[in-house]
Chain A
Amino acid sequence: MVGMATAENFVLAIGTKKGLWLATSQDRREWSFTGPHFLMAEIPSVGIDTRGGRTRIMVGVRSEHWGPTVAHSDDLGETWSEPEQGAIRFPEDTGAAVERVWQIYPDAESRPGVVWAGAEPISVWKSTDGGEHFELNRGLWDHPHRSDWGAGYGGAAAHSIVVDPAGDTVHVAMSTGGVYRSLDGGTSWEPRNKGISAYFMPDPNPEFGQCVHKIAADSAVEGRLYAQNHHGVYRTDDNADTWTSIADGLPADFGFVMLTHPRREGTAWVVPLKADGERIPPDGELAVHRTDDAGSSWKRLSNGLPGKEYNSVLRDAASVDTAEPAGVYFGTRGGTVYASADEGETFSEVIAHLPDVLCVRAAVVAGA
Chain B
Amino acid sequence: MPDITVVLPGVLQPLAGGQSVLTAPADGPVTVGQLLDSVTAGFAVLARRLRDETGALRRFVNVYVDGDEVRRLQGLDTEVSPGQEVLVIQSVAGG
A141 CB, nearest partner CB in chain B, Å: 14
Contact B45 A97 (CB under 8 A): no
A72 to B: closest C-beta gap in Å? 15
Q: Is the CB of A86 within 8 A of B61?
A: no
Q: Is the CB of B54 within 8 A of A95?
A: yes
Partner of A86, one of B12, B53, B93: B53
Residues of B within 8 A of A69 (CB): 48
**In the complex, chain A residues whose CB is within 8 Å of the CB of B48:** 66-67, 69, 85-86, 89
From A40, A67, A82, A85, contact of B58 by CB (8 A): A67
* Cα A92 to Cα B48 with chains together (Å): 14
Interface residue total, chain A, C-beta cutoff 8 A? 19
- In the complex, which residue of chain B has the Cβ closest to the Cβ of A68? B52
Closest chain-A Cβ to B23's Cβ sits at a distance in Å of 22
> Which of A69, A86, A95 has the most C-beta atoms of chain B within 10 angstroms of its own C-beta?
A86
Contact pattern, B 44-70, Cβ under 8 Å of A = 1, otherwise 0: 110011101110101011000000000
Q: Are B53 and A66 in contact (CB under 8 A)?
A: no
Main secondary structure of the interface of A (DSSP, over half): loop
Smallest CB gap from B56: residue in A: A97
B94 an interface residue at 8 Å Cβ cutoff? yes
A40–B94 contact, CB under 8 A? yes
With A86-B53, A89-B53, A90-B53 given, is the CB distance from A64 to B44 under 8 Å? no
Interface residues as binary, B5-21 with A (CB distance below 8 Å gives 1, 0 otherwise) = 00000001000000000
Query: Within 8 Å CB of B45, what residues of A?
Result: 82, 84, 86
Chain A residue at minimum C-beta to C-beta distance from B9: A65
Residue of A nearest to B53 (CB): A89
A65 in contact with B61 (CB, 8 Å): yes
Smallest CB–CB gap between A59 and chain B, Å?
16
- Pick the 7 closest A-B CB pairs, nearest first: A97-B52, A66-B49, A89-B53, A84-B44, A65-B90, A64-B93, A65-B60
Q: Which residues of B contact A (CB under 8 A)?
A: 12, 44-45, 48-50, 52-54, 56, 58, 60-61, 90-91, 93-95
Interface residues of A (CB under 8 A from B): 17, 40, 63-67, 69, 82, 84-86, 89-90, 92, 95-98
